[in-house]
Copies of this chain bind each other. A is one copy, B any other.
Amino acid sequence: MIAHEPDRLARVALSRLTEPGDLRLLSLVSELGAVTVYDHLHTDGDLDGAARDLAVRLSSVDPADDLARATRAGIRFVTPADDEWPVQLDDLADAGALQERGGVPIGLWVRGPQSLRDLASAVAVVGSRSATSYGGEVANEIAARCGSAGLPVVSGGAFGIDQSGHRGAIGVGAPTVAVLACGVDRVYPAAHAALFAHIGRTGALVSEAAPGWAPTRIRFLARNRLIAGLCRGTVIVEAAVRSGALNTANWTDRLSRVLMGVPGPVTSAPSQGVHQLLRRGGAMLVTCGDEVLEMVGASGSHVVIDERGPGRSRDELSVRQQQVLDAVPVAVGARSDSIARAAGIGLVEVRKTLGRLAGGGLVEQTADGWRLGEGGRA
């Protein structure tokens, strides 16, 4: 048995005995260590009513056997003592609670080859289960762009935006990580069996909930803090006003990670929660993967080209040509003497300049006189 084995076994036992995100218990573990807290449970039997049937449950817990069975199922248990531990989760120690969930997890059950250590640069792409096809496409594009740039994509494995995020990364052969509210040996929703199997082979399924456990509301809430805490930034693609994705957004904000939101039609319910986020400040509006990379990528490595489109020839004009062009009417043509008056430039020069501008498509001559051409209507 290696030196930290008692700690690991105590954590496995505590993982079985307590609910994910129980801040009081997790704070005790952070302060006293898992072994002391586990021993304490055996002595006192209860921590302020946290587990009334604890005596019964304690007797049924066999952490060594639990670990052995997990290992046989291809599942590992990662604790703060492991090299693979994602140290960014330690920020949860000082982040308090949201909806009564919080704290650094006791440990994480993991299935899949992706090391959690490499998630410090990850981007979370999350949002509504009732996503629109618009939201799904944008989530896919953002995840694909991040994946292509070498940033792992994290999401929650749900219908809607989550699955579009995972699939966007998978589509470009990039690793993706699903953080679940149930055990990593379970599939919820059931329709995602093939997706989870693929993620288990190429990325990782991660959960604070022990193998076998079902998803519950508080486990979803506890899970959201892990998605926010693992990643450098979180993109909310679509979220209705009461969406769980906004809980993830709050955690992202709370943990001083980069919070981003994708706008959509103001008439679309699944965009309303995102618009609220953007209105309150704290979230950055993003419209594509490149803008996400600009926010979370290595400094300077992903600079977005300001999209003014191709430089119109208008920008290349001389001051004099610009003055003449500015005096040319949009719709009904004007005679060159009237343009010369408007421009405050001599008639001869104006006529010469109009000829040149016409050559570039910026103005055109009609029966009424000169007016702006297609190229001149910037």
The verdict on A117 contacting chain B, using a C-beta distance below 8 Å, is no
Q: Is residue A149 within 8 Å, beta carbon to beta carbon, of the partner chain?
A: no
A340 to chain B, nearest CB (A): 8
Chain A 270-325 interface residues, beta-carbon cutoff 8 Å to B: 271-272, 275-276, 278-282, 284-288, 291, 307-309, 312, 316, 318, 320, 325
Q: How far is the CA of A216 from the CA of B327 in the complex (A)?
A: 6
What is A's interface to B at a CB cutoff of 8 Å?
A: 19, 49-53, 57, 96, 134, 137-138, 188-190, 214-218, 220-221, 241-242, 253, 256, 262-267, 271-272, 275-276, 278-282, 284-288, 291, 307-309, 312, 316, 318, 320, 325-332, 334, 340-342, 344-346, 352, 354-356, 358-359, 372, 376, 378
Q: Which of A190, A271, A320, A356 has the most CB of B within 10 A?
A: A356
A263 touches B275 (CB 8 A): yes
A332 to B188, CA, bound (A): 10
Report yes or no: B356 in contact with A253, Cβ–Cβ below 8 A: yes
Docked complex Cα distance between A358 and B190 (Å): 25
Chain B residues near A265: list those with CB within 8 A: 134, 264-265
Apart from A242-B312, A272-B287, list 20 A-B contacts with CB within 8 A.
Answer: A50-B344, A52-B344, A52-B346, A214-B331, A214-B334, A215-B330, A216-B330, A217-B376, A218-B327, A218-B342, A241-B307, A263-B263, A263-B266, A263-B285, A264-B265, A264-B266, A266-B287, A278-B285, A281-B355, A285-B285
Task: Select A285's contact among B53, B96, B275, beta carbons within 8 Å.
Answer: B275
Distance (whole angstroms) from the CB of A11 to the closest CB of chain B? 19
CB contact under 8 A between A281 and B358, given known A265-B134, A344-B50, A345-B52: yes
Q: Which residues of B contact A53 (CB under 8 A)?
A: 340-341
Cβ of A271: which chain B residues have Cβ within 8 Å of it?
A: 263
- Return the 4 tightest CB-CB contacts between A and B, nearest first: A281-B355, A263-B263, A280-B359, A266-B287
Contact between chains at B342 and A19 (CB < 8 Å): yes
- Asked if A134 and B308 make an inter-chain contact with CB atoms under 8 angstroms apart, the answer reads no
Would A57 and B137 count as touching, CB distance under 8 A? no
Q: With A53-B341, A214-B334, A216-B326 as known contacts, state yes or no: A96 contacts B316, CB within 8 Å.
A: yes
Q: Contacts of A96 on B, CB cut-off 8 Å?
A: 316
Chain B nearest CB, measured from A237 CB (Å):
10
A217 touches B354 (CB 8 A): no
Q: List 22 A-B contacts (CB under 8 A).
A: A96-B316, A137-B267, A138-B267, A189-B331, A190-B331, A215-B329, A215-B331, A216-B330, A217-B376, A218-B327, A218-B342, A221-B326, A241-B307, A242-B309, A242-B312, A263-B264, A263-B266, A263-B278, A264-B264, A279-B291, A280-B355, A280-B359
A138 to B264, CA, bound (A): 13
> How many chain copies?
2
A378 with B138: CB separation less than 8 A: no
Please give, as numbers and ranges, the residues of chain B lying within 8 Å of A359 by CB-CB distance.
280-282
Provide the residues of chain B in CB contact with A50, threshold 8 Å: 344
Partner of A276, one of B138, B218, B308, B320: B308
Task: Determine which residue in A217, A272, A282, A318 has the highest number of CB atoms from chain B within 10 A of its CB, and name it.
Answer: A217
Bound Cα distance A138, B263 (Å): 15
- Alpha-carbon distance between A341 and B18 when the two chains are bound, in angstroms: 9
